[in-house]
Amino acid sequence: MHVRHATVRIMGAEARKGGGALIRWGERRRSAAMHLDSVPLLSGSKFFVGHNLELQRERMRFLDRIAEENAPMLRLRAPAAHLVVINDPQILQEVFVEKAKSFHKSMLVKWALYPLAGEGLFTSEGDLWRRQRKLMAPLFHQAQLQRYATDMLACTHRTMDPWKDGDVVEFANAMTKLTMGVAGKTLFDADTFDDADAIGEALTDTLEWIGEASGSFYGIAHLVARRLVLRAAEVAPATLSARLSAAAQRLAQPTWIPGERGKKFRASIAFLDQHVQRMIDERRASAGQRDDLLSKLLSSRDEESGAGMNDKQVRDEVLTLFVAGHETTATGLSWSLQLLCEHPDWYAKVQKEVDALPADPTVADLPALGLCLRVFKESLRLYPPVYMFGRQTLEPVEVGGVTLPQDTVVLLSPYTLHHMRSVWPDPKRFDPDRFLPEAEASRARYSWLPFGAGPRVCIGNHFAMMEAQLVLATLLRRYRFESLGHAEPETSATFRPNTAMPMRVHARKTS
Ligand code: HEM
């Protein structure tokens, strides 16, 4: 064990010097890639449960420990699974970009997300994913995004205009309401402001359960059972095989969540379903084609069969986009403002940038709001809303000179990657200038991955960055914010702040 650790310390040191030492090492030994066992094991693995309890109960500490190791690749232990976490930009490029075809999304994450996202764009695979991505991509092209700016600004005003000088606002909740309003309006032409609190509550509940369930023994048990049933289906006679395959399909999603928790979870999902169904029904009933996502989904036809999308598929896409499209951006905006309040020197610089605008920001001002964008990017580095996600190997595949067996779970934690000393000097320091063009150009391409990478990169990344720039600039021109307490990230499905982030707002004189 000691020897193995020493080997990896050397790899880490090489990676610090030149980047991608594991790759060079792998190239030298192309004919004999290393076995997974030679990747160092993170300390603290317990008998049978491995690292699973720590992942469940002390997730933040667990992530900090991984970052502290500063190793390009670490092995983790969990019941019935091979698991590695990768923190090296070159190896991540192999997994997410160059060899993306050898991976699919992690079964455990898909299992936990199924009740909310079903077979939507985030969770689907293969032909279904390709078809849906192609259908939705035009809505996120640059020209289209610019048209969303008006709605983004209108939702910002609707949120902040009622604030009076000296009010204490729950900033994190306000950002959720704002970004939910933007997602509802731009993607589905729906007004969510009146229902925002009820939707927000249902979503909070749902995301908390997903966060806990995605590494749980309950989920692992489902997937182990599913694997056994699938194996049995392979050797069973035809009639039994079909029934076993159907049973395996049922195990790919949570079968029953017991107790009060389960009751609340089911009620929240039912509430969200009703809401979406109402939106679909109203749109099907209304005449005329609108230029939003919902209309596109409802009018799309399969190229071969000519069949339209059924309501379940539309529901899955709508909920996926609605949740993915606002929760993460709200979280990023909340952290941005807390970071600015805690770093008055940077706050003053941003204030100067927004005060230099002749009037409230519009889409034409985006090029003049470079620092607002850098602040948002740096907040996504320090507190990436999607702090951990994964892939699973479809076949044995070599990455970083190591052969990963079929079904190995590869974890990417943008949080640990963004805290690697070898990639980000003085990683805990808030410094938006890390995102000046020359600084970005000097870093390895896949060092900053809050939006993922490769074919499954976040479809809404430019949408989110433009929204954040406009919202931050508009808020900071109108009010000075005074933070009334420090929030820490909660390890729910996203890195939400653990408080409502109370802030006192002071009205400013700008128009
Ligand atoms: C700061 C804001 C955001 C962050 C940090 C974020 C993060 C991510 C990440 C990490 C992924 C990739 C997950 C993986 O590879 O397994 C992803 C995918 C996705 N995101 Fe975002 N996202 C944000 C905003 C948005 C917005 C605004 C939308 C839509 C309006 C959106 C819609 C999606 C969808 C649909 C996918 C799945 C794409 C696919 O698999 O083809 N996201 N997001």
Q: Are 394 and 406 in contact (CB under 8 A)?
A: yes
Quote the ligand 1 centre to 428 CA distance (angstroms): 25
At residue 34, φ and ψ (nearest 5 deg) are -75, 150
Q: Which of 329-343, 370-384, 496-510 has the lowest mean pLDDT?
A: 496-510
CA of 329 to the centre of ligand 1 (A): 10
Query: Residue 15: which pLDDT band, with cuts at 50, 70 and 90?
Result: very low
* Ligand 1 mutation target, pool 458, 472, 494, most atoms within 8 A of CB: 458
45 CA → ligand 1 middle, Å: 32
Q: Where are the alpha helices (DSSP H) in 383-458?
A: 414-417, 437-442
Task: Give the residue, by CA position, lying nearest to ligand 1 atom 18.
Answer: 458
pLDDT at 509 over 50: yes
Please tell me the residue having the least CA distance from ligand 1 atom 43. 458
| In the predicted structure, residue 87 carries a pLDDT above the cut 90 | yes
Query: Does the pLDDT at position 416 exceed 90?
Result: yes
User: Mean pLDDT, the chain, as a whole number?
Assistant: 88
Provide the edge-to-edge strand list for the sheet that holds 103-105.
73-78, 81-86, 409-412, 389-393, 103-105
pLDDT band of residue 287 (cuts 50, 70, 90) is low
Q: Which residues line ligand 1 (CB under 6 A)?
A: 105, 121-122, 133, 320-321, 324-325, 328-329, 332, 385-386, 389, 450-452, 456, 458-460, 463-464
Any idea which residue has 């939003």 for tokens? 292
Can you give the C-alpha Rg of the chain in angstroms? Answer: 23
SS3 497: strand
427-446 burial code (b ≥16 CB/10 A, e <16)? beebbbebbeeeeeeeeeeb
Closest to 337 measured CA to CA, from 180, 486, 131, 115? 486
14 Cα to the center of ligand 1, angstroms:
33
For 46, phi then psi, to 5°, come to: -105, 155
- In ligand 1, the atom with minimum distance to the C-alpha of 122 is 37
> Percentage of the chain with pLDDT > 70?
92
248 or 485: whose pLDDT is higher? 485
pLDDT above 50 for 11: no
pLDDT of res. 107: 85
**Percentage, residues of the chain above pLDDT 90:** 60
Tens-place pLDDT, residues 321-358: 999 989 999 999 999 999 999 999 999 999 999 999 99
Chain position carrying tokens 């017991």 = 258
To the nearest 10 degrees (0 to 180), the angle between helices 370-382 and 344-355 is: 150
Give the Cα separation of 53 and 78 in Å (integer): 9
Most confident of the ranges 45-49, 137-141, 297-301: 137-141
pLDDT 10s digits, 209-225: 887 777 677 777 777 78
Residue 14 predicted with pLDDT over 70: no
Whether the pLDDT of residue 362 is over 90: the answer is: yes
**pLDDT average, residue stretch 417-442:** 97
Q: Between residues 64 and 283, which one has the greater pLDDT?
A: 64
Q: So what's the pLDDT on residue 220?
A: 75
pLDDT tops 90 at residue 297: no
Among 146-160, 213-227, 301-315, 344-358, the range scoring the smallest mean pLDDT is: 213-227
SS3 of residue 337 by DSSP: helix
Confidence of residue 9 (pLDDT cuts 50, 70, 90): very low
At 508 the pLDDT is 94
pLDDT at 26: 41
Q: Whose CA is nearest to atom 11 of ligand 1?
A: 458
Residue spans of the domains in the chain: they are 2-117+388-406
Of 232-246, 254-268, 321-335, least confident by mean pLDDT is 254-268
Q: What is the pLDDT at residue 511? A: 56
